[in-house]
């Protein structure tokens, strides 16, 4: 009967007309546009009554309509309408969206439901309730289903909208395992350092609350000399995980979570992600493997990629928060912003807003549209790159009437930014007007401070780049987008767009968020027209299907090409296939990737020829899985020839020195030169000298302002803003990523050649350069501080205050607990950074 009634409602044209008018009326009110769409009390009640029926449907589109009606009705300030709050409560309860009740005080506090409705709510709520740290938590239906499958110990693949609360459930699940003594080691894989910081912070809070002192949180590479903790949660990118697995072949995990698992598509990084997970499966086949991503059409794809036959897909298309797509046209000759709502495959005109003049640039459009529609609620503005983000933020600063000159939280953040980056960094003057910007290259402590200020309302506008797509979680009420691109990689794809759009609206704070598509008709692509379900394909399969001949040629070429981003992606696939050939898994891999028999024969022949040219053991090659084995072989041949021809003097020139050594720069520049020529096949004069100079300062723990000023002295023609961005790029993308990868390979091959040529004694002298480059420190004391969770900036300050530069983590903790930290660091964010680490550290 209910289904038939739902069919009648859905089939009635008048219902859809009234529903569209309701949504339009709410948006006009929300956006401050002249009210031309009026909704009578009678029409409102009819829509809400229809929503109570559609909420019982199992069809996501109808559930979404019911939720949208409830969300708009709650926002029209009709609290005096008899029974409205109660009916809305019934709709949300039937949808199983209990967290959304908190979005409206009138709905959340309504207690006069009819007896049967109240009983039905309690029964439904009880089924969606879990105890977390002795605190009851009410979940959505999707979260409840996910929790049950996870608790059964199943391998799970998850697909849901960005705002569905996936990460909350995953982290709560780890918490429950740790509390119940059912977990020894968990590995939480994320695609970016920014997300490492966010997940680490969330895990640290419940670890502290539950007093799980025997659990460590590891989020940096651990050298071979560092003992692996017996009980730990590792929060790592695939690169950091690879480094740990290379240094500790025995590493394994009981639970493995790949969050933002759609990143398995991302070229060489996707191949590496697949490789480390495959190795974890081989080490512990009985471990629990969990994959999570947004809006994946077929979440079962991960079971097929990893040969996990017992894989339970958990998905939802029903929104936990509604996103309104609002088209804003800025190019009217009448100097008006024309506003339309995208819905149901069409557009509903909402009205127009006068503007002062034309808006010829993307920057001006983003600034003026965000100024007009985003002032009253927290708003994110998407920029295509770091330079664009800074310029848009400076534009918003110009038009902002806000004043943070007396806000102690913002003043503390400004003080921190000046010390951690530069006193004239553009972020400083933006913060004075409650405007911030955020991109992946910004130091972690500053990024965290900006995120916290935005979350607590200190920042009104946050301009951000594609780091937002990689899962960093600071949703807002509004999102402003104009011709979005992912840096230099081209327009945002459909999956990336919907992942971005999902940041508008915060579960438990708003029923719905607004996504402003500025001049959408002029975008290169139309991702909002394509629906939010996306297909996922592993980078390995994508490369074999799209660049098969390149893979074959990679194996047959007498000498590798100059290494570029595209070449790295192809060679990562070649490396993986050559490894599978050696382990007997190649046929299985090629079958899974859909390679035909004839192509398999050609590929195997090419790989066999490549294997005949390689003498390096597979275990050594595996330490650098994204570097072509042929490049590694060339490097090994170079080392052998240089050592043989140049003797001990040349051998010692090839050995890197500890960053504190007075000859560190000279030796590191030689390491980088060899990497450029032998691994990358490139010769850029003096580049190795410049990058070695930056890397040595970075590894010695010197602060960013000093490194920035040094770079400015080297290139006086650059503006300060460009020098800051350039230095941050050099460190985050070059030093901590590219040279981390190159030196990892350099040391692995050098160690192999030293042993093979009878120079084993030199192996012990090789410093762990990759770890130093990644952490930005080389003194054991500073590394210990960073390992405890203290930011590099504060860790450097603390290290300067102690004479003992060789403390391990236990000694560093004792030292910290014995200091007058307030006198040493002052108040504010630096002190909070240390207190957070101390609260999360093992008990004394």
Phi, psi (degrees; rounded to nearest 5) at 560 = -60, 150
pLDDT value of position 132: 72
Record the tokens describing residue 763, joined without a space: 């192996």
What Rg do the C-alpha atoms of the chain give, in angstroms? 28
Record the tokens describing residue 395, joined without a space: 């534009």
Q: Could you say which DSSP state residue 147 is in? A: H
Q: Report in angstroms the alpha-carbon separations of 314 from 144, 256, 299.
A: 11, 17, 8
Phi, psi (degrees; rounded to nearest 5) at 191 = -85, -5
pLDDT value of position 79: 63
Residues in the chain: 844
Q: Report the distance separating Cα 6 and Cα 59, nearest Å.
A: 10
Record the tokens describing residue 148, joined without a space: 């049950």
In the block, tokens 């070695």 appear at 692
H-type helices in 613-686, by residue range? Answer: 618-621, 629-654, 664-674
Q: What strands, in cross-sheet order, belong to the sheet with 232-236?
A: 216-218, 232-236, 185-189, 255-258, 288-294, 155-160, 311-315
Q: Report the distance separating Cα 77 and Cα 377, nearest Å.
A: 17
CA-closest candidate to residue 237, choices 23, 81, 470? 470
Ranges of residues in the chain whose predicted pLDDT is under 50: none
Q: Report the distance separating Cα 203 and Cα 343, nearest Å.
A: 39
Q: Report the distance separating Cα 300 and Cα 312, nearest Å.
A: 7
H-type helices in 400-512, by residue range? Answer: 408-420, 426-431, 444-455, 494-501
Q: Report the distance separating Cα 202 and Cα 188, nearest Å.
A: 12
pLDDT value of position 291: 96
Q: Report the distance separating Cα 56 and Cα 498, nearest Å.
A: 26
User: Model pTM greater than 0.75?
Assistant: yes
Q: Are 765 and 657 in contact (CB under 8 A)?
A: no
- Residue 516 C-alpha from the chain's centroid: 23
Does an H or E element contain 809, and which? helix 809-817
pLDDT value of position 1: 67
Q: Report the distance separating Cα 672 and Cα 194, nearest Å.
A: 27
Q: Report the distance separating Cα 103 and Cα 107, nearest Å.
A: 8
In the block, tokens 């570029």 appear at 564
Q: Are 178 and 212 in contact (CB under 8 A)?
A: yes
Q: Report the distance separating Cα 344 and Cα 740, nearest Å.
A: 49
CA-closest candidate to residue 464, choices 479, 453, 449, 452? 479
Q: Report the distance separating Cα 318 and Cα 12, nearest Å.
A: 22
Does an H or E element contain 574, and which? helix 565-583
399 burial type by CB count under 10 A (0-12 exposed, 13-18 middle, 19+ buried) = middle
Record the tokens describing residue 273, joined without a space: 């992600």
Q: Report the distance separating Cα 147 and Cα 154, nearest Å.
A: 11
Q: Are 25 and 39 in contact (CB under 8 A)?
A: yes
| DSSP E strands, 482-581 | 512-518
Q: Report the distance separating Cα 808 and Cα 786, nearest Å.
A: 11
Name 327's bridge partners: 340, 517
Name 463's bridge partners: 381, 437
Name 328's bridge partners: 339, 518
In the block, tokens 């025997």 appear at 214
Q: Report the distance separating Cα 386 and Cα 487, nearest Å.
A: 9
Expressed in angstroms, the distance from the first to the final Cα of the chain is 65
């Amino acid at each position: 009967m209910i289904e038939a009634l739902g069919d009648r409602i859905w089939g009635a044209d008048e219902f859809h007309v009234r529903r569209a008018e309701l949504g339009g009326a709410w948006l006009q009110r929300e956006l401050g546009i002249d009210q031309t769409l009026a909704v009578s009390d009678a029409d409102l009640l009819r829509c809400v009554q229809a929503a109570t029926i559609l909420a019982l449907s199992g069809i996501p589109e109808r559930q979404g309509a019911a939720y949208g009606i409830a969300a708009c009705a709650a926002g029209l300030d009709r609290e005096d309408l008899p029974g409205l709050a109660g009916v809305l409560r019934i709709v949300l309860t039937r949808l199983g969206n209990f967290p959304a009740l908190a979005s409206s005080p009138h709905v959340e506090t309504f207690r006069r439901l009819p007896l049967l409705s109240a009983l039905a709510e309690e029964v439904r709520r009880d089924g969606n309730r879990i105890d977390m740290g002795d605190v009851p938590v009410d979940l959505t239906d999707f979260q409840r289903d996910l929790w049950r499958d996870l608790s059964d110990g199943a391998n799970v693949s998850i697909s849901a909208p960005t705002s569905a609360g996936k990460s909350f459930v995953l982290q709560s699940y780890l918490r429950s395992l740790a509390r119940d003594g059912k977990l020894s080691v968990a590995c939480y894989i994320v695609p970016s350092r920014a997300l490492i910081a966010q997940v680490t912070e969330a895990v640290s809070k419940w670890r502290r609350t539950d007093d799980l002192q025997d659990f460590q949180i590891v989020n940096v590479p651990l050298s071979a000399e560092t003992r692996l903790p017996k009980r730990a949660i590792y929060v790592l990118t695939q690169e950091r995980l690879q480094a740990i697995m290379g240094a500790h072949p025995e590493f394994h995990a009981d639970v493995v979570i790949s969050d933002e698992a759609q990143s398995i598509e991302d070229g060489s990084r996707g191949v590496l992600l697949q490789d480390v997970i495959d190795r974890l499966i081989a080490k512990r086949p009985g471990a629990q493997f969990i994959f999570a991503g947004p809006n994946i059409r077929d979440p079962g794809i991960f079971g097929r990629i990893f040969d996990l036959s017992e894989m339970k897909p958990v998905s939802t298309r029903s929104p936990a928060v509604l996103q309104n797509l609002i088209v804003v046209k800025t190019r009217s000759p009448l100097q008006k912003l024309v506003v339309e709502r995208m819905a149901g495959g069409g557009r509903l005109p909402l009205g127009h807003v006068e503007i002062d003049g034309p808006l010829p640039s993307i920057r001006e459009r983003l600034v003026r549209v965000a100024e007009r529609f985003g002032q009253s609620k927290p708003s994110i503005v998407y920029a295509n790159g770091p330079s664009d983000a800074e310029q848009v933020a400076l534009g918003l600063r110009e038009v902002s009437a806000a004043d943070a000159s007396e806000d102690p939280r913002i003043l503390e953040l400004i003080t921190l930014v000046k010390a951690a980056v530069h006193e004239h960094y553009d972020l400083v003057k933006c913060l004075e007007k409650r405007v911030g910007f955020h991109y992946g290259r910004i130091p972690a402590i500053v990024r965290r401070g900006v995120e916290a200020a935005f979350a607590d309302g200190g920042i009104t506008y946050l301009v951000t780049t594609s780091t937002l797509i990689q899962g960093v979680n600071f949703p807002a009420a509004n999102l402003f987008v104009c011709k979005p691109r992912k840096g230099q990689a081209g327009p945002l794809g459909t999956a990336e767009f919907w992942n971005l759009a999902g940041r508008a609206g915060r579960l438990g704070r708003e029923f719905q968020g607004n996504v402003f598509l500025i001049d959408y008709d002029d975008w290169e692509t139309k991702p909002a027209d394509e629906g939010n379900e996306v297909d996922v394909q592993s980078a390995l399969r994508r490369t074999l299907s799209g660049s098969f001949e390149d893979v074959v040629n990679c194996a047959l070429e007498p000498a590798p090409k100059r290494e570029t981003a595209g070449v790295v992606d192809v060679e990562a696939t070649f490396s993986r296939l050559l490894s599978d050939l050696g382990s007997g898994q190649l046929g299985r891999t090629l079958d899974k990737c859909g390679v035909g028999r004839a192509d398999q024969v050609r590929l195997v022949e090419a790989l066999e020829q490549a294997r005949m040219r390689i003498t390096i053991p597979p275990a050594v090659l595996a330490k650098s899985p994204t570097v072509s084995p042929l490049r590694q072989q060339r490097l090994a041949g170079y080392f052998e020839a240089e050592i043989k021809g140049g003797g001990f003097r040349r051998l010692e020139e090839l050995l890197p020195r500890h960053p504190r050594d007075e000859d560190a720069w000279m030796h590191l520049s030689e390491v980088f030169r060899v990497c450029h020529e032998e691994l990358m096949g490139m010769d850029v004069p003096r580049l190795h000298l410049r990058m070695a100079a930056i890397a040595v300062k970075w590894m010695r723990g010197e602060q960013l302002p000093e490194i920035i000023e040094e770079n400015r002295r080297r290139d006086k023609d650059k503006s300060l803003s460009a020098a800051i961005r350039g230095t941050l790029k050099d460190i985050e993308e070059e030093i901590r990523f590219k040279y981390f990868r190159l030196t990892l390979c350099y040391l692995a091959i050098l160690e192999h050649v030293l042993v093979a040529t009878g120079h084993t004694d030199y192996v012990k002298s090789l410093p762990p350069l990759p770890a130093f480059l990644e952490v930005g420190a080389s003194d054991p004391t500073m590394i210990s501080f960073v390992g405890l969770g203290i930011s590099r900036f504060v860790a450097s300050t603390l290290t300067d205050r102690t004479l003992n530069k060789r403390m391990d983590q236990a000694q560093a903790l004792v030292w910290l607990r014995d200091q007058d930290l307030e006198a040493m660091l002052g108040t504010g964010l630096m002190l909070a950074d240390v207190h957070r680490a101390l609260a999360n550290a093992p008990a004394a």
